[in-house]
C-alpha cells in the first residue's frame, strides 16, 4: 500500500469519537473490553466493533489472559501518530479507582 494511502486509512480510523476516546484510554494503560464498555457507558458489541477496526488498522495490540483479551496501543510502526496521541486529553480521572480490570 502506498504510504499516503496507508496514512489516510489510519487517520480515518481516528476520525471517530469513540475510537479516539478508546485510544486516549489506552494511552494511560492496557484495558479489556469490559473496562472500556464500563468507562464509555456503551454496549460490548459497539466497543468490540471499534476495537476490531483499530486492530485491523494496526493501532492496537491484543493479549489474551485466560478468557479475557486486553488491548494496548501499537504505535511503533507509525511514529507520526505519537504526536496525535500525545495531544489527546488525559483519561487518568476516568481511571481513578480502577487500579485493576473489572474483568478478572
pTM for this model (two decimals): 0.90
How many domains does the structure of the chain reveal?
Answer: 1
Distance CA 97, CA 87 (A): 24
Determine, yes or no, domain membership for 96: no
Q: Which residues of the chain have pLDDT under 50?
A: none
- The CA-CA-CA angle for residues 4, 46, 36, to 5°, reads 90
pLDDT of residue 1: 78
pLDDT of residue 9: 93
Determine, yes or no, domain membership for 89: no
pLDDT of residue 57: 93
| CATH (domain of 46) | 1.10.10.10
pLDDT of residue 101: 61
Determine, yes or no, domain membership for 101: no
Determine, yes or no, domain membership for 88: no
Q: Give yes or no for a contact between 3 and 18, defined as CB atoms under 8 angstroms apart.
A: no
Sheet hosting strand 68-73, strand order edge to edge: 31-32, 68-73, 60-65
Q: Which residue has the cell 478478572?
A: 104
Q: Give yes or no for a contact between 80 and 19, defined as CB atoms under 8 angstroms apart.
A: no
Determine, yes or no, domain membership for 59: yes
The Cβ of residue 33 has, within 10 Å, a number of other Cβ atoms equal to 20
Determine, yes or no, domain membership for 103: no
What range does the domain containing 53 cover?
A: 3-83
Amino acid at each position: 500500500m502506498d504510504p499516503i494511502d496507508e496514512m489516510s486509512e489510519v487517520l480515518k480510523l481516528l476520525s471517530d469519537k469513540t475510537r479516539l476516546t478508546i485510544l486516549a484510554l489506552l494511552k494511560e494503560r492496557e484495558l479489556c473490553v469490559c473496562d472500556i464498555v464500563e468507562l464509555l457507558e456503551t454496549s460490548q458489541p459497539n466497543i468490540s466493533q471499534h476495537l476490531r477496526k483499530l486492530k485491523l488498522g494496526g493501532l492496537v495490540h491484543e493479549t489474551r489472559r485466560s478468557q479475557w483479551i486486553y488491548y494496548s496501543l501499537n504505535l511503533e510502526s507509525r511514529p507520526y501518530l505519537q504526536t496525535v496521541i500525545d495531544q489527546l486529553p488525559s483519561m487518568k480521572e476516568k481511571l481513578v479507582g480502577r487500579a485493576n480490570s473489572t474483568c478478572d
